[in-house]
Structure 1
Amino acid sequence: MIEGKTIAFLVAPEGTEQVELTEPWQTVMNAGGMPRLISTREGRIQAFHHLDRGDTFAVDATVDQVDAAQFDGLVLPGGVANPDFLRTRPEAVRFVRAFFDLGKPVAAICHAPWTLIEADVVRGRTLTSWPSLQTDLRNAGATWHDQEVVVCTSAPSTLVTSRMPDDLKAFGEAVIEAFA
Protein backbone atom coordinates (compact mmCIF):
# COMPACT_ATOMS: atom_id res chain seq x y z
CA MET A 1 0.00 0.00 0.00
CA ILE A 2 1.03 3.56 -0.57
CA GLU A 3 -1.21 5.10 2.07
CA GLY A 4 -0.78 8.87 2.23
CA LYS A 5 1.83 9.10 -0.54
CA THR A 6 1.41 11.84 -3.13
CA ILE A 7 2.04 10.75 -6.70
CA ALA A 8 2.49 13.20 -9.58
CA PHE A 9 0.99 12.36 -12.97
CA LEU A 10 2.70 14.55 -15.57
CA VAL A 11 0.74 15.12 -18.79
CA ALA A 12 0.61 17.50 -21.73
CA PRO A 13 -2.40 19.79 -22.19
CA GLU A 14 -3.55 17.52 -25.02
CA GLY A 15 -2.74 14.03 -26.25
CA THR A 16 -2.59 11.75 -23.20
CA GLU A 17 -3.93 8.25 -23.80
CA GLN A 18 -6.91 8.35 -21.42
CA VAL A 19 -6.79 4.77 -20.15
CA GLU A 20 -3.05 5.14 -19.40
CA LEU A 21 -3.98 8.06 -17.14
CA THR A 22 -7.20 6.84 -15.56
CA GLU A 23 -6.29 3.22 -14.74
CA PRO A 24 -2.98 3.98 -12.96
CA TRP A 25 -4.70 6.96 -11.26
CA GLN A 26 -7.41 4.65 -9.90
CA THR A 27 -4.80 2.07 -8.89
CA VAL A 28 -2.93 4.71 -6.88
CA MET A 29 -6.18 5.85 -5.23
CA ASN A 30 -7.23 2.28 -4.42
CA ALA A 31 -3.84 1.74 -2.71
CA GLY A 32 -4.37 4.80 -0.50
CA GLY A 33 -2.23 7.19 -2.52
CA MET A 34 -3.07 10.74 -3.52
CA PRO A 35 -2.61 11.33 -7.26
CA ARG A 36 -2.12 14.90 -8.52
CA LEU A 37 -2.44 15.95 -12.16
CA ILE A 38 0.48 18.14 -13.24
CA SER A 39 0.66 19.78 -16.66
CA THR A 40 2.33 22.65 -18.43
CA ARG A 41 -0.87 24.76 -18.46
CA GLU A 42 -3.60 25.47 -15.94
CA GLY A 43 -7.19 24.46 -16.54
CA ARG A 44 -8.09 21.11 -18.05
CA ILE A 45 -6.20 18.61 -20.16
CA GLN A 46 -7.74 16.81 -23.14
CA ALA A 47 -7.27 13.05 -23.09
CA PHE A 48 -7.63 10.79 -26.11
CA HIS A 49 -8.73 7.27 -27.00
CA HIS A 50 -6.01 6.73 -29.59
CA LEU A 51 -6.86 9.46 -32.14
CA ASP A 52 -10.35 10.31 -30.85
CA ARG A 53 -11.00 12.91 -28.18
CA GLY A 54 -11.80 11.47 -24.77
CA ASP A 55 -12.63 13.21 -21.52
CA THR A 56 -11.07 16.31 -20.02
CA PHE A 57 -9.45 16.36 -16.59
CA ALA A 58 -8.76 19.23 -14.19
CA VAL A 59 -5.11 20.13 -13.65
CA ASP A 60 -4.07 20.32 -9.99
CA ALA A 61 -0.91 22.36 -10.64
CA THR A 62 1.44 23.37 -13.41
CA VAL A 63 4.92 21.97 -13.61
CA ASP A 64 6.43 25.38 -12.82
CA GLN A 65 4.35 25.59 -9.60
CA VAL A 66 5.62 22.33 -8.09
CA ASP A 67 8.86 20.64 -7.14
CA ALA A 68 9.66 16.93 -7.37
CA ALA A 69 10.54 17.02 -3.65
CA GLN A 70 6.79 17.49 -2.91
CA PHE A 71 5.97 14.04 -4.34
CA ASP A 72 6.71 10.43 -3.49
CA GLY A 73 6.69 9.22 -7.09
CA LEU A 74 5.95 10.10 -10.70
CA VAL A 75 3.74 8.45 -13.33
CA LEU A 76 4.15 9.31 -17.00
CA PRO A 77 1.13 8.18 -19.04
CA GLY A 78 1.57 7.55 -22.73
CA GLY A 79 -0.13 8.45 -25.96
CA VAL A 80 2.01 9.54 -28.90
CA ALA A 81 1.39 13.29 -28.59
CA ASN A 82 1.74 13.49 -24.80
CA PRO A 83 5.45 12.64 -24.37
CA ASP A 84 6.32 14.20 -27.71
CA PHE A 85 5.01 17.53 -26.36
CA LEU A 86 6.53 17.12 -22.88
CA ARG A 87 10.02 16.40 -24.20
CA THR A 88 10.02 19.80 -25.92
CA ARG A 89 9.27 21.67 -22.68
CA PRO A 90 12.41 22.28 -20.58
CA GLU A 91 10.39 22.72 -17.38
CA ALA A 92 8.74 19.29 -17.87
CA VAL A 93 12.07 17.62 -18.66
CA ARG A 94 13.66 19.21 -15.55
CA PHE A 95 10.73 18.00 -13.42
CA VAL A 96 11.17 14.41 -14.66
CA ARG A 97 14.94 14.53 -14.20
CA ALA A 98 14.51 15.78 -10.63
CA PHE A 99 12.76 12.56 -9.58
CA PHE A 100 15.82 10.59 -10.63
CA ASP A 101 18.17 13.08 -8.98
CA LEU A 102 16.18 12.66 -5.74
CA GLY A 103 16.07 8.85 -6.03
CA LYS A 104 12.27 8.73 -6.25
CA PRO A 105 10.40 6.01 -8.18
CA VAL A 106 9.15 6.74 -11.69
CA ALA A 107 6.71 4.81 -13.88
CA ALA A 108 6.23 5.28 -17.64
CA ILE A 109 4.00 3.49 -20.12
CA CYS A 110 3.74 3.29 -23.89
CA HIS A 111 5.42 6.29 -25.59
CA ALA A 112 6.22 8.02 -22.26
CA PRO A 113 9.90 6.92 -22.31
CA TRP A 114 10.47 9.60 -24.98
CA THR A 115 10.36 12.09 -22.12
CA LEU A 116 12.82 9.92 -20.15
CA ILE A 117 15.21 9.96 -23.11
CA GLU A 118 15.08 13.75 -23.23
CA ALA A 119 15.74 13.88 -19.47
CA ASP A 120 18.84 11.71 -20.09
CA VAL A 121 17.88 9.10 -17.49
CA VAL A 122 17.72 5.86 -19.50
CA ARG A 123 21.44 5.24 -20.11
CA GLY A 124 22.43 1.93 -18.50
CA ARG A 125 18.84 1.05 -17.57
CA THR A 126 16.61 -1.80 -18.71
CA LEU A 127 13.07 -0.93 -19.78
CA THR A 128 10.24 -1.50 -22.19
CA SER A 129 7.94 0.78 -24.17
CA TRP A 130 5.68 0.87 -27.18
CA PRO A 131 7.71 -1.21 -29.68
CA SER A 132 8.44 1.68 -32.06
CA LEU A 133 10.56 3.38 -29.35
CA GLN A 134 13.04 0.51 -28.96
CA THR A 135 15.60 2.02 -31.37
CA ASP A 136 15.34 5.44 -29.69
CA LEU A 137 15.88 3.84 -26.29
CA ARG A 138 18.80 1.72 -27.44
CA ASN A 139 20.40 4.77 -29.07
CA ALA A 140 20.01 6.58 -25.73
CA GLY A 141 21.93 3.79 -23.97
CA ALA A 142 19.08 1.66 -22.60
CA THR A 143 18.50 -2.06 -22.88
CA TRP A 144 15.02 -2.71 -24.29
CA HIS A 145 12.89 -5.81 -23.65
CA ASP A 146 9.52 -6.73 -25.14
CA GLN A 147 7.72 -7.54 -21.86
CA GLU A 148 4.48 -6.36 -20.31
CA VAL A 149 6.34 -4.75 -17.43
CA VAL A 150 10.01 -4.14 -16.66
CA VAL A 151 11.19 -2.94 -13.26
CA CYS A 152 14.71 -1.51 -13.26
CA THR A 153 16.14 -0.92 -9.79
CA SER A 154 19.40 0.67 -10.92
CA ALA A 155 20.45 3.62 -8.78
CA PRO A 156 19.40 6.28 -8.18
CA SER A 157 15.70 5.35 -8.50
CA THR A 158 13.37 2.53 -9.44
CA LEU A 159 11.90 2.77 -12.94
CA VAL A 160 8.75 0.84 -13.90
CA THR A 161 7.87 0.65 -17.61
CA SER A 162 5.19 -1.05 -19.69
CA ARG A 163 4.40 -1.27 -23.40
CA MET A 164 0.71 -0.52 -23.91
CA PRO A 165 -2.82 -0.43 -22.49
CA ASP A 166 -3.01 -4.26 -22.57
CA ASP A 167 -0.25 -4.22 -19.91
CA LEU A 168 -2.04 -1.90 -17.48
CA LYS A 169 -2.88 -4.54 -14.86
CA ALA A 170 0.77 -5.63 -14.54
CA PHE A 171 1.90 -2.00 -14.75
CA GLY A 172 -0.40 -0.99 -11.90
CA GLU A 173 0.77 -3.83 -9.66
CA ALA A 174 4.42 -2.96 -10.32
CA VAL A 175 3.77 0.75 -9.71
CA ILE A 176 2.23 0.09 -6.30
CA GLU A 177 5.07 -2.23 -5.31
CA ALA A 178 7.74 0.27 -6.45
CA PHE A 179 6.00 3.22 -4.79
CA ALA A 180 5.47 1.35 -1.50
Structure 2
Amino acid sequence: MEKRKSGTETRVRITSKIGILLNQILQNINQAINESTPTPHLKLIMYSAHDITIVSLQRAMNVYGSIIPPYASCHIFEVYQEDDESFTLDMYFRNRSDSEAYLLTLPSCTKHCPLQDFIRITRDLISDNRDEECKLSSGSVRKEVILGVALSVGIVLFLLLIFLCCWWNHKTHHHRVPSSSDEMP
Protein backbone atom coordinates (compact mmCIF):
# COMPACT_ATOMS: atom_id res chain seq x y z
CA MET A 1 0.00 0.00 0.00
CA GLU A 2 1.35 3.40 -0.98
CA LYS A 3 1.98 5.87 1.81
CA ARG A 4 -0.13 9.02 1.57
CA LYS A 5 1.87 12.08 0.48
CA SER A 6 1.77 15.43 2.22
CA GLY A 7 -0.03 18.36 0.60
CA THR A 8 3.24 20.02 -0.39
CA GLU A 9 4.61 16.87 -2.02
CA THR A 10 1.35 16.36 -3.89
CA ARG A 11 1.31 19.98 -5.11
CA VAL A 12 4.93 19.74 -6.30
CA ARG A 13 4.16 16.48 -8.06
CA ILE A 14 1.08 17.89 -9.80
CA THR A 15 2.69 21.19 -10.77
CA SER A 16 5.76 19.43 -12.12
CA LYS A 17 3.63 17.06 -14.19
CA ILE A 18 0.93 19.34 -15.51
CA GLY A 19 1.53 22.91 -14.33
CA ILE A 20 3.78 23.78 -17.27
CA LEU A 21 1.18 22.59 -19.80
CA LEU A 22 -1.72 24.30 -18.06
CA ASN A 23 0.29 27.51 -17.73
CA GLN A 24 1.04 27.45 -21.48
CA ILE A 25 -2.64 26.82 -22.31
CA LEU A 26 -3.69 29.77 -20.13
CA GLN A 27 -1.01 32.01 -21.64
CA ASN A 28 -2.23 31.15 -25.14
CA ILE A 29 -5.85 31.80 -24.13
CA ASN A 30 -4.84 35.15 -22.66
CA GLN A 31 -2.93 35.99 -25.83
CA ALA A 32 -5.91 35.06 -27.99
CA ILE A 33 -8.37 37.26 -26.08
CA ASN A 34 -6.05 40.21 -25.44
CA GLU A 35 -6.54 42.74 -28.22
CA SER A 36 -3.36 44.64 -27.33
CA THR A 37 -1.17 41.60 -28.02
CA PRO A 38 1.12 42.32 -30.99
CA THR A 39 0.95 38.72 -32.24
CA PRO A 40 -1.92 37.52 -34.42
CA HIS A 41 -5.02 36.32 -32.59
CA LEU A 42 -5.05 32.57 -32.40
CA LYS A 43 -8.29 30.85 -33.35
CA LEU A 44 -7.14 27.29 -32.71
CA ILE A 45 -4.23 25.76 -30.85
CA MET A 46 -3.65 22.02 -30.83
CA TYR A 47 -1.35 20.12 -28.49
CA SER A 48 -0.39 16.52 -29.02
CA ALA A 49 0.10 14.40 -25.92
CA HIS A 50 0.20 10.87 -24.60
CA ASP A 51 -2.74 9.38 -22.74
CA ILE A 52 -0.95 9.78 -19.41
CA THR A 53 -0.66 13.54 -20.00
CA ILE A 54 -4.40 13.79 -20.62
CA VAL A 55 -5.07 11.72 -17.50
CA SER A 56 -2.71 13.90 -15.44
CA LEU A 57 -4.36 17.09 -16.71
CA GLN A 58 -7.86 15.79 -15.99
CA ARG A 59 -6.91 14.39 -12.57
CA ALA A 60 -5.27 17.68 -11.60
CA MET A 61 -8.49 19.52 -12.47
CA ASN A 62 -10.72 16.82 -10.87
CA VAL A 63 -12.56 15.99 -14.10
CA TYR A 64 -11.01 12.56 -14.79
CA GLY A 65 -13.54 9.83 -15.54
CA SER A 66 -11.38 6.83 -14.45
CA ILE A 67 -11.02 5.43 -17.98
CA ILE A 68 -7.66 5.63 -19.71
CA PRO A 69 -8.07 7.69 -22.87
CA PRO A 70 -7.87 5.60 -26.03
CA TYR A 71 -5.67 6.52 -28.97
CA ALA A 72 -6.59 9.85 -30.63
CA SER A 73 -8.59 11.16 -27.65
CA CYS A 74 -8.70 14.90 -27.17
CA HIS A 75 -9.31 17.36 -24.36
CA ILE A 76 -10.80 20.56 -25.71
CA PHE A 77 -10.76 24.05 -24.18
CA GLU A 78 -13.20 26.44 -25.84
CA VAL A 79 -13.22 30.13 -24.97
CA TYR A 80 -16.27 32.27 -25.67
CA GLN A 81 -16.82 36.00 -25.49
CA GLU A 82 -20.22 36.63 -23.96
CA ASP A 83 -22.61 39.46 -24.80
CA ASP A 84 -21.37 41.42 -21.78
CA GLU A 85 -17.78 41.23 -23.21
CA SER A 86 -16.67 38.77 -20.49
CA PHE A 87 -15.04 35.45 -21.37
CA THR A 88 -16.12 31.95 -20.43
CA LEU A 89 -14.42 28.61 -20.87
CA ASP A 90 -15.95 25.22 -21.66
CA MET A 91 -14.00 21.97 -21.55
CA TYR A 92 -14.87 18.88 -23.54
CA PHE A 93 -13.42 15.41 -23.81
CA ARG A 94 -13.70 13.30 -26.90
CA ASN A 95 -12.58 9.73 -26.39
CA ARG A 96 -14.17 8.08 -29.42
CA SER A 97 -14.17 9.08 -33.04
CA ASP A 98 -17.74 7.85 -33.56
CA SER A 99 -19.30 10.04 -30.86
CA GLU A 100 -19.48 13.67 -29.88
CA ALA A 101 -17.23 15.20 -27.24
CA TYR A 102 -18.84 15.46 -23.84
CA LEU A 103 -18.77 18.41 -21.48
CA LEU A 104 -16.39 18.41 -18.52
CA THR A 105 -17.35 20.80 -15.73
CA LEU A 106 -14.65 21.97 -13.39
CA PRO A 107 -15.69 21.48 -9.76
CA SER A 108 -16.71 24.80 -8.19
CA CYS A 109 -17.67 26.15 -11.60
CA THR A 110 -20.57 26.10 -14.04
CA LYS A 111 -20.96 24.80 -17.59
CA HIS A 112 -19.76 28.09 -19.03
CA CYS A 113 -17.07 28.73 -16.44
CA PRO A 114 -16.09 32.40 -16.25
CA LEU A 115 -12.48 32.56 -17.39
CA GLN A 116 -11.38 34.45 -14.28
CA ASP A 117 -12.96 31.73 -12.09
CA PHE A 118 -11.20 29.03 -14.12
CA ILE A 119 -7.86 30.81 -13.66
CA ARG A 120 -8.50 31.25 -9.92
CA ILE A 121 -9.51 27.58 -9.44
CA THR A 122 -6.54 26.20 -11.40
CA ARG A 123 -3.96 28.69 -10.05
CA ASP A 124 -2.62 26.19 -7.49
CA LEU A 125 -1.83 23.72 -10.29
CA ILE A 126 0.68 26.11 -11.83
CA SER A 127 4.08 26.43 -10.24
CA ASP A 128 5.07 29.86 -8.99
CA ASN A 129 8.75 28.98 -9.24
CA ARG A 130 9.27 25.68 -11.04
CA ASP A 131 13.06 25.83 -10.87
CA GLU A 132 13.00 26.34 -7.10
CA GLU A 133 10.41 23.59 -6.49
CA CYS A 134 12.30 21.06 -8.60
CA LYS A 135 15.72 21.92 -7.19
CA LEU A 136 17.35 19.44 -4.86
CA SER A 137 18.86 20.79 -1.70
CA SER A 138 22.62 21.27 -1.93
CA GLY A 139 23.15 18.72 0.85
CA SER A 140 21.32 15.95 -0.99
CA VAL A 141 23.09 16.81 -4.26
CA ARG A 142 26.45 16.64 -2.48
CA LYS A 143 25.55 13.23 -0.98
CA GLU A 144 24.45 11.92 -4.37
CA VAL A 145 27.65 13.10 -6.06
CA ILE A 146 29.86 11.59 -3.35
CA LEU A 147 27.92 8.32 -3.46
CA GLY A 148 28.16 8.22 -7.26
CA VAL A 149 31.90 8.87 -7.28
CA ALA A 150 32.54 6.32 -4.51
CA LEU A 151 30.49 3.68 -6.32
CA SER A 152 32.27 4.37 -9.60
CA VAL A 153 35.71 4.16 -7.99
CA GLY A 154 34.70 0.94 -6.23
CA ILE A 155 33.59 -0.65 -9.50
CA VAL A 156 36.79 0.40 -11.30
CA LEU A 157 38.95 -0.99 -8.45
CA PHE A 158 36.99 -4.25 -8.45
CA LEU A 159 37.43 -4.65 -12.21
CA LEU A 160 41.13 -3.81 -11.92
CA LEU A 161 41.52 -6.45 -9.19
CA ILE A 162 39.84 -9.07 -11.37
CA PHE A 163 42.07 -8.13 -14.31
CA LEU A 164 45.23 -8.35 -12.16
CA CYS A 165 44.20 -11.72 -10.72
CA CYS A 166 43.57 -13.11 -14.22
CA TRP A 167 46.85 -11.70 -15.50
CA TRP A 168 48.82 -13.08 -12.53
CA ASN A 169 47.15 -16.46 -12.84
CA HIS A 170 47.89 -16.61 -16.55
CA LYS A 171 51.53 -15.54 -16.01
CA THR A 172 52.32 -18.03 -13.20
CA HIS A 173 50.46 -21.00 -14.64
CA HIS A 174 51.39 -20.56 -18.23
CA HIS A 175 53.32 -23.59 -19.39
CA ARG A 176 54.54 -24.29 -22.81
CA VAL A 177 52.77 -27.19 -24.40
CA PRO A 178 55.21 -29.54 -26.11
CA SER A 179 54.79 -29.50 -29.84
CA SER A 180 56.53 -32.82 -30.55
CA SER A 181 57.40 -36.04 -28.77
CA ASP A 182 61.06 -35.01 -28.67
CA GLU A 183 60.22 -32.17 -26.29
CA MET A 184 58.37 -34.41 -23.84
CA PRO A 185 60.26 -35.45 -20.66
TM-score (norm. length: structure 2): 0.29
Structure 1 length as normaliser, TM-score? 0.29
Considering fraction of residues, name the structure with more helix. 2
User: Bigger radius of gyration, 1 or 2?
Assistant: 2
Select the structure with the greater relative contact order (CA < 8 A; seq sep ≥ 6): 1
